[in-house]
Amino acid sequence: MELRTKTFLFIIASFLLGAVGGGYTVKTFFTSPNGGSRGDYQRQFAERLHLDSAQAGKVDSIFDAHRARFSEVKKTYSEILRHKRDTLRLEIRKLLTPEQNGLYDGYIKEQEEREKKRENHK
The answer on pLDDT for 25 being more than 50 is yes
Comparison of pLDDT for 8 and 85, the residue scoring more? 85
Q: According to the model, what pLDDT value does residue 28 have?
A: 60
Domain ranges of the chain: 3-31+68-120
pTM of the model: 0.46
Identify the weakest region by mean pLDDT among 7-21, 37-51, 89-103: 7-21
Alpha helices in the chain (DSSP H): 3-30, 38-48, 53-95, 98-120
Q: What is the mean pLDDT of residues 15-28?
A: 70
* Interacting residues of 55 by C-beta distance below 8 A, sequence separation 6+: 46
Residue-level pLDDT at 4? 82
